[in-house]
Amino acid sequence: MQVINFFASDRQSHWLEEIKKSDWGAGAFLHELICNGTFFEVVGKDSKVLLLIDGDELISFCTYAQKDDIQPTELTPWMGFVYTFPEHRGRRYMGLLFEKIERLAKEEHVPEVYISTNHIGLYEKYGCEYRTQMKDMNGELSRVYVKKIE
């Protein structure tokens, strides 16, 4: 298994079709942003789509972005669009994506990464701490977690 950057891949069409297979509305939105060429406009010019792959199979994906669904805010960067395909859940594969994001954040001298979610008890397993609630782009309350970068 390895973590790759979608935009650095020479197989973007394949990985885009794999993202499209997710059974989650936010996954469909990510697919739409990439297809429409608006991904960087919405989440920031230096943002990345990280893919955890095993050969040709997409296991999990997420973004590492300047912005997420909590806008406007001064908080940055964000780990967003976090998804693991159902048949791979429960194996802590998301931790491999977190490790990659932590390395990227360290390279950028970023002290914290934020996550917007309604999950309780998931991100805490990866060392994240609940910070507050904020309204997302739809005006709904979302829990904001922070992952301190050592």
Instruction: Identify the bridge partners of residue 117 per DSSP, sorted by sequence position.
Output: 143
Q: Per-residue pLDDT tens for 5-43?
A: 999 999 999 999 999 999 999 999 999 999 999 999 999
Domain that holds residue 65: 2-148
Domain tally, the chain: 1
Which is higher by pLDDT, 72 or 127?
127
**Among 93, 90, 39, CA closest to 65:** 39
CATH of the domain at 72: 3.40.630.30
150 pLDDT more than 90:
no
Are 144 and 135 a contacting pair, CB within 8 Å?
no
Grouping H, G, I as helix, E, B as strand and the rest as coil, residue 93 is: coil
pLDDT score for 98: 94
CB atoms within 10 A of CB 64: 25
Q: In this structure, are residues 26 and 39 in contact, taking their beta carbons and an 8 Å threshold?
A: no
pLDDT tens column, 73-122: 899 999 999 999 999 999 999 999 999 999 999 999 999 999 999 999 99
